[in-house]
Structure 1
Amino acid sequence: MTKKDLRIIFMGTPEFAVETLRALVEADYNVVAVVTQPDKPVGRHHETLQPSAVKQYAMSKGLPVLQPEKMKDPVFVEELRSFEADLQIVVAFRMLPEIVWNMPRYGTFNVHAALLPQYRGAAPINWAVINGEKQTGVTTFFLDHDIDTGRIIMQEPFEINDDYNVEDVYNGLMKLGAEIALMTTDRIIEGNGHVPSLPQDEMIATGDVLHHAPKIFKETCRIDWNMPAKNIYDFVRGLSPCPGAWTNIISADGKDTVLKIYKTSKTGMKSTSPCGTVLMEKGCMYVCTADELLKIDILQLSGKKRMNASDFCNGRKELRIKS
């Protein structure tokens, strides 16, 4: 079997998935169609439809694009079947029903941005950084009935430096994900559709604690100043630059405002005031935590531009965090 013999359908939506699709196309794999989310209404009155990043790239390469509202729609299923794909590759897409993932003769594999079985779920990159992990990675696995539980084909690790935020890890895993997708596809070609894979249950040792990666909501991003400084430091970088960790502040005039925090620094200076106490000294902003002062470096007031904390402190004499 060669690249041209293997008919591939690619499924994905955001920029993260484009890197893998681009790698497949530029390496001359036979991508016969692309499946992505329907165009999203944007603008003040939702008057404009915005195509996904994957759709934009696919159209620029003249690839057929399918955008089903429902994955079980009989019309979509038959259209998908008409492409006679041997393999489906999924990157950052929605959950698929069995009638879809089981359609190709060689199955469907997913590229997941974590070292499964750790961090199953919708936000593995964020949670790995929030939890202070030193290493994450990418995994390819065959889809089955449950989310992120299929047989593992390949894994590649990625080191998380202490100063990395989500964007740094996202960019690294995006490139690594494209590489592992091609390596996995090559293994399938070399094996004429057959490739060794390992059940995830066999990778879980007795006593192992599995970390999960559920979807992140606004309330998930609220900072708990009662935690140790290291935990808050990791929490902030695990949500920066998007969606952003936040807290409520009350100014000297009593105004209650949401403050997003995008970067902090550990100081090693012991905190002696109640957790959440704000200290502004010599143009620097510190917040008391459970153990030490945490320096605030970059922040953004609701409705304002992102700025350095030193600029924010200018002219401010009193500030407190709303408990």
Structure 2
Amino acid sequence: MKIVFMGTPDFAVASLRALLDADFDIVGVITAPDKPAGRGQKISESAVKRFAVEKGLKVLQPVKLKDPDFLKELKSLDADIQVVVAFRMLPELVWNMPPKGTINLHASLLPQYRGAAPINWAIINGEKRSGVSTFFLKQEIDTGDLLFAEELDIEEDDTAGDLHDKLMVIGAGLLVKTLKAIEAGKYKEIPQNTHQENELKKAPKIFREDCLISWDRPVKDVYNLIRGLSPHPAAFCHLKDKTLKIYSATAEEKEINDKPGSVLTDNKTYLKFACRDGLISVLELQLEGKKRMKVDEFLRGVRL
């Protein structure tokens, strides 16, 4: 079974590596074009491209997925099936090209958390369980017939980064399982249950306004927001008219008299913010113009 793999970030590299380790025939890898990044605007390659080149795989980097030259080259690979992991939306003439279709690995238990940021929103919403799903691509995003899924618990102190790394590993294993089942013809397509569409939780792209902390919310909600946006893009507030990103914190539910947003500190070891019903104690942070650091190091250089 000849496979074309499509992906861009580290999350996808784990799946590509697992497919190679399982001796699948990867006839081509589609990934994002190289682009300038960082202060020096040096040309940066995607994690998938770096890994694919290291393994001697054929790499295509189309700017536009409907480009005739790209479509001609993709067709010439004569893939039986395409696999998508953390890539962009595909036009129908791409996902419908191979005879066995195109499957996608998604970092949620579908149909819950369809969209671009399922890992972030699961933690922001205080979920206790998450997982990965494989499904056949269809026209609307993340709506195709399900193939397999695997669940895992979200720990109380898991960040989006922690959950990302866990799902990356089990997702790679689930993808291998899925492709072996398809190759053997031993799988069942299960339509996604959408009869309660209004009860489905979405996972849209995270924007800057989603990251701003509202201290007048319950402390648990603020804690989940901080976890769900760490390490990237990071929840933030304003301190001394500068942006303060918070990467790690603890939450304490208690009755307080302080106004939400009030700062409590001894200027040595702790920095706390008052919420509606408790306190957020900051552990790791970054003030605009400074590096990321632990709270005690921060307080040695800033007087509050």
Specify whether residues 249 and 43 from structure 1 end up closer, same or farther in structure 2 by C-alpha distance, changes over 3 A only: closer
Report Cα offsets for 1:207-240 as digits up to 9, x if no partner.
Answer: 8611111111222111111110000001001011
Other-structure match for 1:262: 247
What TM-score, normalized to structure 2? Answer: 0.96
Contact 1:39 1:50 in 2 (8 A): yes
Other-structure match for 1:84: 78
Contact 2:237 2:244 in 1 (8 A): yes
Q: Which amino acid aligns with 1:196?
A: K
Q: Aligned partners of 2:177 and 2:62: how far apart in 1?
A: 29
What TM-score, normalized to structure 1? Answer: 0.90
Q: Aligned partners of 1:295 and 1:56: how far apart in 2?
A: 39
Q: Aligned partners of 1:182 and 1:73: how far apart in 2?
A: 30
Q: Aligned partners of 2:22 and 2:156: how far apart in 1?
A: 34
Is the counterpart of residue 276 in structure 1 residue 261 in structure 2? yes
Q: Aligned partners of 1:311 and 1:70: how far apart in 2?
A: 47
Deviates more, 1:261-270 or 1:26-35: 261-270
Indicate the SS of the match to 1:99. Answer: helix
Report Cα offsets for 1:62-83 as digits up to 9, x if no partner.
Answer: 1110111111111111110001
Indicate the SS of the match to 1:81. Answer: helix
Indicate the SS of the match to 2:187. Answer: coil
Indicate the SS of the match to 2:244. Answer: strand
Q: How many percent identity over aligned positions?
A: 49
Contact 1:10 1:31 in 2 (8 A): yes
Other-structure match for 1:199: 191
Is the counterpart of residue 291 in structure 1 residue 283 in structure 2? no
Is the counterpart of residue 127 in structure 1 residue 121 in structure 2? yes
Deviation (angstroms), 1:274: 1.1
Match of 2:210 among 208, 214, 220: 220
Specify whether residues 277 and 62 from structure 1 end up closer, same or farther in structure 2 by C-alpha distance, changes over 3 A only: same
Report Cα offsets for 1:159-207 as digits up to 9, x if no partner.
Answer: 100011011100000001100100000110110xx7311111xx24648
Other-structure match for 1:253: none
How many residues are paired up?
303
Q: Aligned partners of 1:218 and 1:137: how far apart in 2?
A: 26
Other-structure match for 1:36: 31
Flag structure 2 segments of 5+ consecutive residues without an equivalent. none
Contact 1:300 1:306 in 2 (8 A): yes
Indicate the SS of the match to 1:270. Answer: coil
Which is greater in Rg?
1
Query: Structure 1 segments of 4 or more deviating over 6 A?
Result: none
Contact 1:270 1:293 in 2 (8 A): no
Report Cα offsets for 1:88-120 as digits up to 9, x if no partner.
Answer: 000000000010000010000000000011111
Contact 2:219 2:253 in 1 (8 A): no
Other-structure match for 2:295: 309
Specify whether residues 220 and 137 from structure 1 end up closer, same or farther in structure 2 by C-alpha distance, changes over 3 A only: same
Deviates more, 1:86-95 or 1:263-272: 263-272
Other-structure match for 2:105: 111
Deviation (angstroms), 1:313: 3.1
Flag structure 1 segments of 5+ consecutive residues without an equivalent. 1-5, 251-255, 319-323
Deviation (angstroms), 1:312: 2.7
Match of 1:241 among 231, 234, 240: 231
Q: Which amino acid aligns with 2:249?
A: T
Specify whether residues 85 and 289 from structure 1 end up closer, same or farther in structure 2 by C-alpha distance, changes over 3 A only: same
Q: Which amino acid aligns with 1:214?
A: P
Q: Aligned partners of 1:224 and 1:271: how far apart in 2?
A: 17
Q: Aligned partners of 1:315 and 1:175: how far apart in 2?
A: 40
Q: Aligned partners of 1:240 and 1:45: how far apart in 2?
A: 25
Deviates more, 1:55-64 or 1:269-278: 269-278
Q: Aligned partners of 1:131 and 1:106: how far apart in 2?
A: 36
Q: Aligned partners of 1:43 and 1:17: how far apart in 2?
A: 22
Indicate the SS of the match to 2:254. Answer: strand
Q: Which amino acid aligns with 2:34?
A: D
Deviation (angstroms), 1:315: 7.0
